[in-house]
Copies of this chain bind each other. A is one copy, B any other.
Amino acid sequence: MSVLVVGTTALDSIKTPKKENPKLLGGSASHAAVAASFFAPTRLVGVVGGDFPAKYIRLYEKHGLCLKGLDRVKDGRTFHWSGEYEVNMNNRRTLETVLGVIEHWQPAIPGDYESCPYVLLANIAPAVQLRVLDQVARPKFVVADTMDLWLNIALDDVMRLLKRIDCLVLNDSEARQLTEDDNVVSALPKIHRMGPRYVIIKKGEHGSILSSPKGLFVAPAYPLKKVVDPTGAGDSFVGGLMGYLASRKSGSIDSNLRRAIVHGAVVASFCCEGFGLTVTTKVSREDIDARVRELESIAGLD
């Protein structure tokens, strides 16, 4: 089955202590859709400006993404984020954000996308995420990602969104902010009460925690010897997770979600090994499957 991914399509300029990388392909939807495409047919809904390089369109196409829902505003500028990482790669500082064409974008879901069973609302304004939900027929599984910015400036929209999704993905500091609870484990039931039956808390190098009707699942991250650029890792994680779920021919969401999380974690690990999408777009499904087997063995008791 197919995955519909909505989110930002961006140009990212990323500075690390060692390197500067201008105008890489970035954005939550780019990372998530490429990650999902390893497992299932993926439809990308987003918006770019006239400055969006043709080579990035070709990169999307190389991954078989359906681009019917990618708006192209010829006289507009693509959303541009620039940021800087500190030596330990854990602290990120935004240097500049140019919203460009994304500022007034109203996504229109192509007619034949409406029945897409897996809907991934990657990180973007919750008003946009809600607008997408208004246009799709009862999907089988809706996952939304968010970020601290929306908790700060659009909390009402986030709360409305939470009532309409199956699963919320957020990082540990966002979970603390949303619930005003210092302990992420006790924050989980509070988030469930806001709406979603499934909550996944991302903890970066420390893995993730899933809270579901089946209980908790503590998932490891793939232990990386070197992190080059973690930008997009969370988007890759949730994209890989949704792609894997959509690829399952049998089993319930509950029975597939743990392995889906492991697959998402593996795509995220590749993402961290290069700037932007440079490594993710070079790996194969076989590379992913091999690392999944490795991670399963690293986390197994026997």
A241 to chain B, nearest CB (A): 14
For A186, A218, A262, A298, the residue with the greatest tally of chain B CB atoms inside 10 Å of its CB is: A218
Q: Mark out the residues of chain A between 194 and 239 whose CB falls within 8 Å of any chain B CB in the assembled complex.
A: 203, 206-207, 209, 215-218, 220-221, 223-227
Q: Give the chain B neighbours of A227 by CB distance below 8 A.
A: 183
A17 to chain B, nearest CB (A): 11
Do residues A206 and B207 form an inter-chain contact, with CB atoms below 8 A?
yes
Taking a contact as CB atoms under 8 Å apart, the answer to whether A206 and B209 are in contact is no
Q: Is A96 an interface residue (CB 8 A)?
A: no
A137 part of interface (Cβ distance < 8 Å): no
Give Cα A93–Cα B294 distance, bound, in whole angstroms.
39
CB distance from A164 to the nearest CB of B (A): 27
Picked from B183, B209, B224, B262, the residue with its CB within 8 Å of the CB of A226 is B183
Interface centre among A182, A225, A258 (most CB of B within 10 A): A225
User: How far apart are the CA atoms of A203 and B182 in the complex, in Å?
Assistant: 18
Roughly how many angstroms separate A302 CA and B259 CA in the complex, as a whole number? 8
Closest B-chain residue to A225, C-beta based? B186
From A203, which residue of chain B is reached at the shortest CB distance?
Answer: B206
Q: A203-B206, A206-B203 are in contact. Are A259 and B218 (CB under 8 A)?
A: no
Known: A209-B223, A215-B297. 14 other contacts (CB 8 A): A183-B227, A185-B223, A203-B206, A207-B218, A207-B220, A215-B298, A216-B223, A217-B298, A220-B220, A258-B300, A258-B301, A258-B302, A259-B301, A299-B299
**Contact sample, A vs B, 7 pairs, CB 8 Å cutoff:** A88-B182, A183-B227, A185-B224, A215-B298, A216-B298, A258-B300, A262-B301
